[in-house]
Amino acid sequence: MKTTAILLAAGQGTRMKSTLPKVLHPVAGRPLIWHAMQAIGQSTTEKPVVVVGHGADQVTGYLGDSARTVLQEPQLGTGHAVVQAESLLKGNTDLVVVCYADMPLLRGETLRKLVEMQKNNTGPVSLLTVIADDPRGFGRIIRRPDGTVDAIVEEYVATAEQLQVKELNVGGYCFDAAWLWDALHRIPQNPKKGEYYLTDAIELAAKAGLPVQALVMEDAEETIGINTRVHLSEVEAAMRRRINQEYMLNGVTLIDPASTYIEIGVTIGRDTIIMPNTHLHGNTEIGEGNVLGPNTIIRDSRIGDYCKVLASVMEGAVLEDYVDMGPFARLRKGAHLGNHVHMGNFGEVKDSYLADGVKMGHFSYIGNAQIGSRTNIGAGTITCNYDGEKKHDTEIGEDVFIGSDTMLVAPLKIGAGARTGAGAVVTKNVAEDTLVVGMPARAIRKVEGKREK
């Protein structure tokens, strides 16, 4: 049976007080409409139709080929919005799911249950409801003695008795498509607001004696829609609890879930421990047995196994296995630390590779560099990689010892086994196994002893 979703995303969202269309505001790192698209994708068989209006170009541009879009202009209510999809869907689908793009907590599993209910319903529509003490402005569900829905009464016209009803209309529907298109053209215009409300279709079915079924949702958090930034924060907190619980159930330890922020799309291996106030963003992959945080921010990065990242920031970086970094270290885009690398406090690496076993103690900057295995970078070392116009590369071999406060003026090559004295300013290439000192640095002797081969 062909099932197609119509996602309502035309609202202006004036109470958000934002230049960004409401449905593009992020929750857990993804726009509201992304979450809605995931849910309908799990419960329908056809490409969805998204009704756009305010910020139509931005919303359509974000969706790309993932949906068909129709413009609602002017915006005359939810019933009018659904009519905009008629030309695309009439005769091309059996069931129509209608829901809102500003309900990111609504699960695909819930919509699947709704679709199954409608498949078994002899009437034209099934809808989602919830039992809640806080009505949140939702319409009240009035049921018949047989349990079917008799009407949805909006809060502003409800009687005192009806206002006591705790079953609320969530705003998720599954319609028989053939019945829907005819019913939409019979919905009366609301005399107060001049709009056409989809909920009036429910009344049309009930008055015709057709059974309207309702699926009562168990999780009230799924029903939270977003009209203000207060609602946005409520949804963010609920989504964070949902995400964090899933990680913990899959073998990740979160010391304080309430202060741990993990966005959609992050992957974390088992036995990794996440300390408080750690933020994991974007396309981040984390292996097993790591300890991350506290006070750590990781974005679009990859971390291997058994690493320790303390109070540090990573952006577009890679750690291999058994890396130890922080506190107060920063890896910028293109930083790549090999196995068993140690990076101490107040160090920064950008567009550089530190090979296995490199030690970079503290207070150093490495940029546009290739550092050989087992090399030691002394405190205060700086690769002077920018001449005011271009970036230049530094290449350091294996088993090199860079003394504290060394300035490495790129472009520069330092051979394997070489050493620099503290405070050296190295402006010329250094041969293998050579000690250089001074400013500008000069070679004084060959380095004694054997380095690793």
CATH code, domain with 211: 3.90.550.10
Task: Name the domain boundary from 157, 189, 223.
Answer: 223
Axis crossing angle, helix 32-41 with helix 108-119, rounded to the nearest 10:
40
Is residue 215 within 8 A of residue 2, CB to CB? The reply is no
Instruction: For tokens 């103690």, name the residue.
Output: 361
Same domain, 79 and 174: yes
Which residues make Cβ contacts (< 8 Å) with residue 452, sequence separation at least 6? 373, 374, 398, 399
Same domain, 199 and 333: no
d(CA 185, CA 210): 18
Helix (H) / strand (E) containing 417: none
Q: pLDDT at position 252, please?
A: 98
d(CA 425, CA 289): 41
Same domain, 28 and 73: yes
Q: What angle do CA 101, 107, 110 make, to 5 degrees?
A: 115
Task: Name the domain boundary from 185, 202, 223.
Answer: 223
Q: Which of 80, 279, 362, 392 is catalytic?
A: 362
Same domain, 100 and 236: no
Buried b / exposed e over 199-217, threshold 16 CB at 10 Å, is bbbbbbbbeeebbbbbbeb
DSSP assignment of 18-31 equals -SS-GGGSEETTEE
Which residues make Cβ contacts (< 8 Å) with residue 207, sequence separation at least 6? none
Same domain, 27 and 169: yes
Q: pLDDT at position 449, please?
A: 67
In terms of C-beta density within 10 A (0-12 exposed, 13-18 middle, 19 or more buried), how is residue 141 classed? Answer: buried
Is residue 172 within 8 A of residue 224, CB to CB? The reply is no
Q: Would you give per-residue pLDDT tens digits along the chain (453 residues)?
A: 999 999 999 988 899 999 999 999 999 999 999 999 999 999 999 999 999 999 999 999 999 999 999 999 999 999 999 999 999 999 999 999 999 999 999 999 999 999 999 999 999 999 999 999 988 889 999 999 999 999 999 888 899 999 999 999 999 999 999 999 999 999 999 888 899 999 999 999 999 999 999 999 999 999 999 999 999 999 999 999 999 999 999 999 999 999 999 999 999 999 999 999 999 999 999 999 999 999 999 999 999 999 999 999 999 999 999 999 999 999 999 999 999 999 999 999 999 999 999 999 899 999 999 999 999 999 999 999 999 999 999 999 999 999 999 999 999 999 999 999 999 999 999 999 999 999 988 888 888 765 665
Q: For 120-228, where are the alpha helices, taking DSSP H only?
A: 177-184, 199-207
Same domain, 81 and 199: yes
Same domain, 72 and 113: yes
The identity of residue 177, as a single letter, is A
Q: Could you tell me if residue 451 is inside a domain? A: no
Instruction: Tell me which DSSP letter residue 73 carries.
Output: S
Supply 313's token pair: 């920031």
CATH code assigned at 257: 2.160.10.10
Task: Name the domain boundary from 198, 223, 248.
Answer: 223
Categorise residue 295: left if φ over 0, alpha if ψ from -120 to 50, beta otherwise. left
d(CA 430, CA 208): 91
Backbone phi and psi for residue 191, each to the nearest 5 degrees, phi listed first: -70, -25
Same domain, 352 and 428: yes
Known active-site residue 362:
yes
Same domain, 35 and 101: yes
Supply 259's token pair: 């202060």
d(CA 341, CA 320): 9
Task: Tell me the sheet residues that pair with 9.
Answer: 52
Q: pLDDT at position 450, please?
A: 58
Nearest of 181, 3, 211 to residue 79 by alpha carbon? 181
Dihedral over alpha carbons 423, 428, 430, 436 (to 10 degrees):
-30
Q: Could you tell me if residue 453 is inside a domain? A: no
Categorise residue 412: left if φ over 0, alpha if ψ from -120 to 50, beta otherwise. beta
Supply 348's token pair: 């920064």
Same domain, 255 and 207: no
Q: Could you tell me if residue 114 is inside a domain? A: yes
Q: Determine how β-strand 140-143 pairs with β-strand 149-153.
A: antiparallel
Q: Could you tell me if residue 452 is inside a domain? A: no
Same domain, 202 and 281: no
d(CA 34, CA 424): 54
Nearest of 230, 177, 232 to residue 23 by alpha carbon? 232
State the total domains in the chain.
2
Same domain, 21 and 61: yes
Supply 129's token pair: 């409801």
Supply 53's token pair: 């209006």
In terms of C-beta density within 10 A (0-12 exposed, 13-18 middle, 19 or more buried), how is residue 164 classed? Answer: exposed
Q: pLDDT at position 453, please?
A: 54
Which residues make Cβ contacts (< 8 Å) with residue 258, sequence separation at least 6? none
The identity of residue 425, as a single letter, is V
Which residues make Cβ contacts (< 8 Å) with residue 61, sequence separation at least 6? none
User: Number of C-alpha atoms within 13 angstroms, CB side, residue 287?
Assistant: 15
Instruction: For tokens 């078994």, name the residue.
Output: 120
Buried b / exposed e over 6-35, threshold 16 CB at 10 Å, is bbbbbbebeebeeeebbbbbbbbbbbbbbb
Q: pLDDT at position 451, please?
A: 67
Q: pLDDT at position 190, please?
A: 87
Q: pLDDT at position 154, please?
A: 86
Provide the residue range defining the domain that includes 107: 3-223
Q: Could you tell me if residue 302 is inside a domain? A: yes
What's the pTM value of the predicted model, to 2 decimals? 0.92
